[in-house]
Each structure stands twice: as structure tokens, then as C-alpha cells.
């Protein structure tokens, strides 16, 4: 039995992953203020980046499910952390530069979560983790890189476009490429099959 799927995301990377996987779906942007949700969390959740990703993915899935109860909703979120510091998408090029400089020569974590929901109920939850180690680079290098990619640096948490030239910033990556770009598609397909959705 096949049910219609909605991807609760406007992320071009996630849309591309789903399309390339051959999964029929439509995309709907969830009405969720991520920063407000984070502020409302208790301290133990607010300081755990992977927990935040799961909570936000669930909020997005359930919000869209409230509007489209007959569909299966895939809510997604990605968080990034370096030690105890949790990162967000930069608001401007200055923040993008600061973000990249703070990651230089270090290993950070990306958590990519999804939640499947239908008719206001959660069906499945999953999070995948990747560890990314960057090369050491100078402020001058970062400025040149950001000048080259421009405002695209504001579209991702780490200010890098890993599916493009940003891959050159990394010494090593432990974890799935799909986790890094924001949607653990193998695990999602497995869960969709378990739920007889595809």
C-alpha cells in the first residue's frame, strides 16, 4: 500500500535527495519557529544538539500533519555542534566567517534527524551522526572562500557547501554523506518500507 508523502522542508538539498531516490513526494514548508522551540526546551534538551534535531524534526512533522492529516509527513532537522557550542545558520557574511574560523582545524558533529508522522501521530524517529574534521585555514583563506560562494554560505549551518567546493575544507568525514547534507536517506527508505508507505 502506497501513501502520499510530504517532505516538511523547503531545503533544496533534501528535496534533491528525495527526488534522486525516486520517492514520490511534495514539499511543504513547516510553520515552526526553530529558535522559539529551542528557547522553550529545558536545559538538558537545549544543550544537546542531537536531541534538539529530533525535537525540531518532530515539531515540523506534526505541524504539517495537522494541516495534511491524510499524508505521511517527513519532518527533518539538522544540528551542528563543536564541543558544547551549538551552531545555527549564519545571519550574515560576518557570522559565516566567524563560524568557519571557529571550525578551522577542529572536528565538529552534524546530527541529521527525521520523524515520520501521519494523522498527528509519530510513526518513526531517527537521527544519524557524522563527525567532520576541517583543515587549518587562515582568515584570508576564509574570506576568499566566502567571496567565491557568496550568499550560499548563509544556507547551511556550517557556512560551507560540502556538496560543492566546500568539500576542500575537510580533512576527513566519518559518517554518511547523506547525513552531512541533511537527510539520512537509506534509513528513511528503510522506515518507509517498514511502515508500508513505499
Segment 44-74, tens digit of pLDDT: 777 789 999 999 999 999 999 999 999 999 9
Using CA atoms, how far residue 35 sits from 89, 176, 182, in Å, is: 11, 27, 18
Cell of 20: 534522486
The C-alpha atoms of residue 36 and residue 16 are separated, in whole angstroms, by 28
The catalytic position among 33, 42, 45, 77 is 77
Segment 163-189, tens digit of pLDDT: 888 999 999 999 999 999 999 999 999
pTM: 0.92
Q: Is 77 labeled as catalytic in the residue annotation?
A: yes
> What structural domains does the chain harbor?
5-194 (3.90.950.10)
Buried b vs exposed e over 160-186: b needs ≥16 C-beta within 10 Å?
Answer: bbbeeebeebeeebebbebbbbbbbbe
Amino acid at each position: 500500500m502506497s501513501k502520499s508523502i510530504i517532505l516538511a522542508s523547503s531545503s533544496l538539498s533534501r528535496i534533491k535527495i528525495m527526488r534522486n531516490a525516486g520517492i514520490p513526494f511534495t514539499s511543504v514548508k513547516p510553520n515552526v519557529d526553530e529558535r522559539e522551540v529551542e528557547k522553550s526546551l529545558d536545559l538538558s534538551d537545549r544543550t544537546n544538539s542531537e536531541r534538539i534535531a529530533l525535537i525540531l524534526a518532530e515539531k515540523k512533522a506534526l505541524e504539517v500533519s495537522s494541516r495534511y492529516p491524510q499524508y505521511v509527513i517527513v519532518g527533518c532537522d539538522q544540528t551542528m555542534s563543536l564541543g558544547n557550542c551549538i551552531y545555527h545558520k549564519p545571519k550574515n557574511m560576518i557570522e559565516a566567517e566567524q563560524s568557519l574560523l571557529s571550525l578551522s582545524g577542529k572536528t565538529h558533529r552534524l546530527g541529521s534527524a527525521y520523524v515520520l508522522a501521519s494523522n498527528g501521530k509519530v510513526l518513526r524517529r531517527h537521527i544519524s551522526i557524522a563527525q567532520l574534521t576541517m583543515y587549518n585555514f587562515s582568515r584570508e583563506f576564509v574570506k576568499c572562500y566566502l567571496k567565491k560562494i557568496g550568499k550560499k554560505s548563509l544556507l547551511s549551518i556550517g557556512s560551507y557547501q560540502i556538496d560543492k567546493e566546500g568539500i576542500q575544507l575537510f580533512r576527513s568525514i566519518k559518517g554518511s554523506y547523506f547525513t552531512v547534507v541533511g537527510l539520512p536517506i537509506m534509513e528513511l527508505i528503510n522506515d518507509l518500507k517498514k511502515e508500508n508507505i513505499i
